[in-house]
């Protein structure tokens, strides 16, 4: 592999639509970058903002949440809760100095293997362009190494 930056991504996938959409991408042998590790939840509405923070704290460079299309939720309206929470959470992450592009919400149905592959491909490239976030490496650091643009902003955002 080349020495280009390989982002580490976490994807929360609802088990009814998006997890199956990811399965379909596999069954159809579509190819996409290996950077995203999926985590299954019953509903995208189960994804708690703390899960996102945890992922960034553990060293993720980007987090995807994928659920059923509006109207298709297996639990009637769980995905509307996700849609409602997402902008607030995104705003909060921005206040912490994160680029808004590091979190992404997508609706991927069980029939949209191609969309899942496309979303992961795009997301990987977008995060690659943003560069490492490195929250985990930040905390037990040696300040000399903490030089990236993102991490500078994190420090600015944390009250002294």
Partner 1 sequence: MAEEKIGVYICHCGTNIAGKVDVEEVTRWAAEQPNVAVAREYKYMCSDPGQDLIKQDIQEHGITRAVVAACSPTMHEPTFRKAAGDGGLNPYLLQMANIREHCSWVTIDGDAATEKAKRILGAQIHRLPLNLPLEPIEVPVNPNVMVVGGGIAGIEAALKLAATGKKVYLVERDPSIGGHMAMFDKTFPTLDCAACILTPKMSAAGKEPNIEMLAYSEVTQVDGYVGNFKVKVTKKARYVDIDKCTGCALCTEACVVRKVPNEFDQGLSKRAAAYIPFPQAVPLKATLDPTRCLTLTGKKCKQPCVAACGPAAIDFDQKDEEIELEVGAIIMATGFQLWDPTPETRYSYGKLDNVISSLEFERISNASGPTGGHIVCKNGEPPKSVAILHCVGSRDENYQEFCSRVCCMYSLKFAHLIKEHLPETEVYECYIDMRTYGKGYEEFYKRLMDEGVHFIRGRAAEVSDVGLTPNEEGHLVVKVEDTLLGVTRRLPVDMVVLSSGLAPRADAKSTAQIFGFGCSANGFYLERHPKLEPVSTVTDGIFIAGCCQYPKDIPDTVAQAGAAAAGALALVDNATVKVEPTISYIDPEKCSGCHICVGLCPHAAIQYNEEKGVAEVIEAACKGCGVCVAACGSGVPQQRGYLDEQIFAEIEGALAL
Q: Which two tokens stand for residue 33?
A: 């970058």
Count other C-beta atoms under 10 Å from residue 66's C-beta.
Answer: 29
Residue 159, interface with partner 1 (CB under 8 A)?
no
Q: Which stretch binds partner 1 (CB under 8 A): 28-36, 97-105, 126-134, 152-160?
A: 28-36
Q: Which two tokens stand for residue 10?
A: 């976490």
CB 74, CB 68: distance < 8 Å: yes
Residue 104, interface with partner 1 (CB under 8 A)?
no
Q: Which two tokens stand for residue 109?
A: 């149905």
Q: Which two tokens stand for residue 25?
A: 């991408």
Q: Which stretch binds partner 1 (CB under 8 A): 24-32, 94-102, 125-133, 151-159?
A: 24-32
Residue 112, interface with partner 1 (CB under 8 A)?
yes
Helix 49-57 / helix 78-95 crossing angle, nearest 10 deg: 40
Q: Which is nearer to partner 1, 28 or 156 (CB)?
A: 28
User: 5: helix, coil or strand?
Assistant: coil
DSSP structural state of residue 143: G
Question: Which 38-97 residues touch partner 1, going by CB under 8 A?
Answer: 38-43, 45-51, 54-55, 58-60, 68, 71-78, 81, 85
Binding site for partner 1 (CB under 8 A): 1, 8, 10, 16-17, 19-20, 22-23, 25-27, 29-32, 34, 37-43, 45-51, 54-55, 58-60, 68, 71-78, 81, 85, 109-112, 114, 117, 136
């Amino acid at each position: 592999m080349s020495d280009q930056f390989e982002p580490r991504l976490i994807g929360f996938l609802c088990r009814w639509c998006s997890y199956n959409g990811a399965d379909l991408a596999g069954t159809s042998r579509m190819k996409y970058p290996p950077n995203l590790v999926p985590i299954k939840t019953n509903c995208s509405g189960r994804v708690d903002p703390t899960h996102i923070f945890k992922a960034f704290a553990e060293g993720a460079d980007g987090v995807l949440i994928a659920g059923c299309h509006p109207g298709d939720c297996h639990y009637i309206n769980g995905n509307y809760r996700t849609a409602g929470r997402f902008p607030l959470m995104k705003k909060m992450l921005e206040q912490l100095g994160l680029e808004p592009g590091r979190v992404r919400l997508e609706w991927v149905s069980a029939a949209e293997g191609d969309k899942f592959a496309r979303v992961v491909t795009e997301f990987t490239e977008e995060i690659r362009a943003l560069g490492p976030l490195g929250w985990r490496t930040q905390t037990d650091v040696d300040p000399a190494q903490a030089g990236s643009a993102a991490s500078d902003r994190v420090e600015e955002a944390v009250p002294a």
